[in-house]
Every structure is written in structure tokens, then in C-alpha cells.
Structure 1
Amino acid sequence: MKISARNNLTGKIKAIEEGSVNNEVVIELAPGVEITSVVTKKSCEQLGLMVGGEAYAIIKASNVMIAVD
């Protein structure tokens, strides 16, 4: 796979919470470090996503905001 995004994070799918249209996919990047993405149910099926499988979280954004209290 070749992609222009520089933020490629590899991990294992920890959970998939199915909704009526979209699924919430939780990827564990390292012990205790998770990232969550919402994708369509159709995309989940087409990608063959399943708990325990390996996946990439690819982040492509022109701005990432950081805030503190």
C-alpha cells in the first residue's frame, strides 16, 4: 500500500460497535493506547474488519488542534 498521508498508525482492532448505518471501530495502537474511527457498515464489510485483525489508522488533516485548560 502506498499513500501520501504521513500519519499511519498500525494496531489491532479491539472492538467494533455496530450501528444502524455506521460502525465505531476501536484500534489498540499499544497497550492502553487506542484510537476510534466511525466508518460505514459497508466499508467495514468491504475491508473485512473484525476484532483481533490488524488495521491501519491513517490520519490526513491540514489542521490538528490542541487545547489545554
Structure 2
Amino acid sequence: MELSARNQLKARIKSINKGDTIAEVILDIGGQEMCSTITTGSVNKLGLNVGDDVTTLIKASSVMIMK
């Protein structure tokens, strides 16, 4: 599969908080946490579980940097 998103990071699912329609998925990326909000239906369809190894795909029109 080819994708236009160049920013791909390997991660492990740390926690999943499912709501009625939206789920908050907390990811561990080399000791750093990242939060992804996706539909609860997508969590179920993908069979996502705590501890799963996944690949994150990031495509954003802006990336902020702070020093």
C-alpha cells in the first residue's frame, strides 16, 4: 500500500477510552505519549487493544515547534 503521509511512527497502544461515537487512543512512541481521537467504530473494526503495536500516520497542514 502506498500512502501520501510521510510521517509514520511505530507505537504501542497504552490505553483506549471509548465513548459512544469517539474513542481516545493513547499511544506510546518511544516513551513519548501521543493521543489519537478516532471513531469508536474504527477501534472496533480494527480490533484495537491495549498493548497492540501499530503504525501512526500523521498528515497535518501545520506542525508547531517550541523551544
Q: Indicate whether the TM-score tops 0.5.
A: yes
Taking the TM superposition and a 5 Å limit, the aligned residue runs for 1:1-69 are 1-31=1-31, 33-66=32-65
Which portions of structure 1, spanning 4 or more consecutive aligned residues, are displaced by more than 2 angstroms?
A: 65-68
Q: Which moved more, 1:18-27 or 1:59-68?
A: 59-68
Displacement of 1:65 after TM fit? 2.8
Query: How many residues were matched structurally?
Result: 67
Gaps of 5+ in 1: none
Q: TM-score, normalised by structure 1?
A: 0.84
Identity %: 42
Q: TM-score, normalised by structure 2?
A: 0.87
Give the AA of the match of 1:17: N
Gaps of 5+ in 2: none
The alignment's C-alpha RMSD in Å is 1.4
Displacement of 1:67 after TM fit? 5.0
